């Protein structure tokens, strides 16, 4: 075992390793938005050149462990699929950054959903709302997928035996309402838009299942689970 001490002349705000065995690559972010890359566990580091744009957030892809996404303060996103050895630059949609996490396809590396704010000249404006934007080419182009979506999953890529490989599920919170619904589509909401539950607390995916928390009468909470996106069964806890 070799131990190396390396003193940095900046305050580290964030760091994370790529979850690979190829090397000890990591991304670091300092308190003023400068990003640094290391491929040897921090023994040597190199500042990432963004042409003066500050990095406000770093997101790692949970399904492709060599991929990371660096959000710039001027509306750019810097993508790497090789642990920071090279980067591509893409322009985010003309929408306010809301700080919501990306949602990724488990099967297609270049497919993910970005959430931006529309009509958000003021974040407190009643017209300000989230929009889910879809890219299938790694951010080169984005299409507006669904208004008022605050969390989506590429459900068809999560299930072992999905009812449809292209199924997407989204949690939707309409403007001027506190109610959240769960909807699904098999064509990225171009024409197909199915309401699964009209009122939910939230949902999550784990181990090839999607679990939905649904409010019930008398302040009761019920959970429903699916492993194909088509049929939901009430989960019983004993």
Ordered by start, the domain boundaries in the chain are 1-91, 93-238
87-98: average pLDDT: 91
For all residues of the chain together, what is the average pLDDT? 92
148-170: average pLDDT: 96
113, 54 contact by CB (below 8 A): no
Q: What pLDDT was estimated at residue 3?
A: 61
CATH class of 93-238: mainly beta
- The pTM assigned to this predicted structure is 0.89
Q: What pLDDT was estimated at residue 96?
A: 86
Over residues 177-224, the pLDDT tens digits come to 889 999 999 999 999 999 999 999 999 999 999 999 999 887 889 999
CB proximity list for 59: less than 8 A, separation 6 or greater: 68, 69, 71, 101, 102
54-64: average pLDDT: 96
Q: What pLDDT was estimated at residue 22?
A: 86
The answer to which of 41-45, 58-62, 165-169, 208-212 has the lowest mean pLDDT is: 41-45
Question: Is the pLDDT assigned to residue 160 strictly greater than 70?
Answer: yes
Question: Is the pLDDT assigned to residue 7 strictly greater than 80?
Answer: no
**DSSP sequence for 94-130:** SSEE--PPPEE-SS-TT-EEEEEEES-SSTT-TT-EE
Question: Is the pLDDT assigned to residue 19 strictly greater than 90?
Answer: yes
211, 225 contact by CB (below 8 A): yes
Copy the structure tokens of residue 211. Answer: 């679990």
Q: What pLDDT was estimated at residue 4?
A: 63
5 pLDDT band, cuts 50/70/90, is low
Q: What pLDDT was estimated at residue 121?
A: 86
The answer to which of 6-10, 38-42, 79-83, 232-236 has the lowest mean pLDDT is: 6-10
What's the CA gap between 116 and 89, in Å, rounded? Answer: 18
Q: What pLDDT was estimated at residue 29?
A: 96
The answer to which of 21-25, 74-78, 96-100, 204-208 has the lowest mean pLDDT is: 96-100
What's the CA gap between 125 and 87, in Å, rounded? Answer: 36
The values of phi and psi at residue 155, to 5°, are -60, -40
Nearest one of 68, 53, 55 to 17, comparing CA atoms: 68
| Alpha-helix residue ranges (DSSP H) falling in the chain | none
């Amino acid at each position: 075992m070799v131990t190396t001490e390396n003193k940095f002349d900046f305050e580290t705000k964030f760091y994370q390793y790529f979850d690979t065995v190829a090397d000890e690559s990591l991304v670091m972010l300092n308190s003023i938005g400068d990003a640094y890359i290391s491929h040897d566990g921090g023994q040597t580091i190199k500042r990432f050149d963004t042409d003066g744009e500050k990095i406000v957030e770093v997101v790692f892809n949970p399904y492709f462990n060599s991929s990371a996404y660096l959000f710039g303060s001027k509306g750019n996103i810097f993508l790497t699929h090789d642990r920071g050895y090279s980067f591509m630059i893409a322009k985010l949609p003309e929408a306010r950054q809301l700080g919501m996490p990306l949602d990724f396809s488990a099967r297609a590396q270049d497919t993910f959903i970005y959430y931006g704010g529309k009509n958000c000249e003021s974040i407190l404006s009643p017209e300000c709302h989230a929009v889910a934007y879809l890219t299938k080419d790694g951010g080169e182009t984005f299409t507006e997928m669904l208004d008022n979506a605050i969390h989506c999953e590429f459900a068809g890529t999560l299930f072992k035996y999905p009812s449809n490989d292209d199924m997407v599920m989204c949690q939707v919170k309409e403007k001027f309402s506190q109610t959240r619904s769960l909807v699904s589509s098999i064509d990225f909401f171009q024409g197909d838009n199915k309401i699964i539950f009209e009122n939910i607390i939230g949902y999550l995916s784990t181990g090839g299942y999607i679990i939905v928390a649904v409010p019930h009468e008398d302040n009761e909470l019920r959970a429903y689970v699916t492993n194909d996106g088509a049929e939901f069964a009430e989960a019983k806890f004993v």
